[in-house]
Structure 1
Amino acid sequence: MNRKEIMKGIEHLAKNDPVMKRLSETIPPFYYEERTSYAKDLITAILGQQLSTKVAWKIEQRFLEKFGDDPDLRAIYDAEHDEIRALGLSNAKVTYVKAIASAFLNNELHFHKFPEMPDEDIIRELVKIKGVGEWTAHMFLMFTLVRLNVLPTGDLGIKRTIMLNYGLKEMPNPKKIKQISKKYKWAPYNTIACYYLWKSDDEPGATSPIY
């Protein structure tokens, strides 16, 4: 990802949104390199769903210790359900990580075309995998492919931090989040805006996909 484009995005947000201006002055700049560890990133996103960052990290470490830092997809697919369950995963998550392993082993999706595909097409591909929903697809776009204009309106952390930073009385629904994004002209840098919102939440045990 081009650092110049990211700095342009930060300047754009700071110019149009006083909250983003404040956050960008106190939080280190957004910067992620595009990655090709597609299977690992999807699996770790599944492992972290609906868990605090601390708990998710512990389960992820156990999982990677067993299956490798570059996870052995065949070993995951062939492992007994209870063997993976013992690492701290729910029954559903065991099914989901096996489904991801199967998708890659059997070339079920057009993963090799992802770098050139539009965001919406990638989302449509990813949600074909059992257990991979829109939230997981959004995280993949933001932190693996580093797409700069993703707005995960269903993310609890984004809802919470918008409420706190924009003085709302309750957490916003997806429609309200889109209205705020439009009002303060986050596009075409919604991803960077979300990064600053996640980073602004220093509550212990907060759920955040930032890594």
Structure 2
Amino acid sequence: MKRIASKRDISTGVKHLRNSCSHLRAMLEECPPIPLRLSPPGFEGLCSIIVSQQVSKASADAIFGRLKTVTGPLEPERFLQAGEDGWKTAGLSRPKQRTLVEISNAVLENRLDLEGLCALPPGQAIDELVAIKGIGPWTAEVYLMFCAGHRDVFPAGDLALQEAMRMGFGMEERPDEKTCRAEAEAWAPWRSVAARILWAYYAVKKRDAMPVV
């Protein structure tokens, strides 16, 4: 399975999409260089994605920094040992606390192999992730993109991607998840790079936008 592992891979994907899609080609004219944005797979990487959901980058960085201070190495055992007082000190919301407890227990009970599933086909890996309570398709897809390096994953439920598509395609209304997923089929096998382009374009158009991860 081919992965995104370097800036060179991003450049290859960008070149393919620039040549094959007029909409993305126009967006790229307004975007800075598309970043790699790749982290090692594992518990810490998934925690970072969950912490960042629905908060600003500054807030996510602060919460994640406090969490690592509370736990030391961010591992399932240490996360559980921190307990509710530690999670509150870090600033984790109740839903995120519950999700990370579920993930910690699943890893410790060998029901979830966060490194091993990176070698699985995307559909199978997503199924294993969403089987854990609190992990939805968006979280699973973003983990596969930015921790596993899958090159053909597209989190079509992401509001920023939908809004970027609306602006870049000249649509009157923001497309729904089904429409975005259908449009993204044309970008295979580089849908993960297409998503990066759309996020970069959204950031250019909405300078005060919340980051995705």
- TM-score bin (small chain): 0.7 to 0.9
1:19-50: CA deviation from partner (whole Å, max 9, x where unpaired): 322333442134355623x1011111111112
RMSD: 2.1
Contact 1:42 1:100 in 2 (8 A): no
Which residue identity does 1:196 align to in structure 2? I
> What SS does structure 1 have at the residue aligned with 2:187?
coil
Is 1:100–2:96 an aligned residue pair? no
Which residue identity does 1:28 align to in structure 2? P
Partner of 2:112: 109
Partner of 1:125: 128
2:51 is aligned, of 42, 47, 50, to 47
Distance in 2 (alpha carbons) for counterparts of 1:152 and 1:11:
21
Structural mapping, 1:139-158, within 5 Å: 139-158=142-161
Which residue identity does 1:193 align to in structure 2? A
Aligned residues: percent identity?
28
Distance in 2 (alpha carbons) for counterparts of 1:44 and 1:3:
21
- Count of residue correspondences: 206
Is 1:21–2:25 an aligned residue pair? yes
Partner of 1:35: 40
Partner of 1:195: 196
1:59 is aligned, of 52, 59, 63, to 63
1:94-139: CA deviation from partner (whole Å, max 9, x where unpaired): 1111222222222222434324211111111111222111111001
Structure 2 unmatched ranges of 5 or more? none
Partner of 2:13: 9
Structure 1 unmatched ranges of 5 or more? none
Contact 2:50 2:96 in 1 (8 A): yes
Contact 1:53 1:206 in 2 (8 A): no
Contact 2:47 2:100 in 1 (8 A): yes
Distance in 1 (alpha carbons) for counterparts of 2:169 and 2:158:
16
> What SS does structure 2 have at the residue aligned with 1:31?
coil
Distance in 1 (alpha carbons) for counterparts of 2:47 and 2:9:
29
Which residue identity does 2:187 align to in structure 1? W
Which residue identity does 1:31 align to in structure 2? L
Q: Which moved more, 1:139-148 or 1:87-96?
A: 87-96
Which residue identity does 1:186 align to in structure 2? W
Alpha carbons of structure 1 residues 94 and 196: separation in structure 2 relative to 1, 3 Å = same
Normalising by structure 1, what TM-score? 0.87
Distance in 2 (alpha carbons) for counterparts of 1:48 and 1:21:
29
Alpha carbons of structure 1 residues 88 and 140: separation in structure 2 relative to 1, 3 Å = same
Distance in 1 (alpha carbons) for counterparts of 2:130 and 2:39:
21
Deviation at 1:146, TM superposition (A): 0.9
Question: 4+ runs of 1 displaced by more than 6 Å?
Answer: none
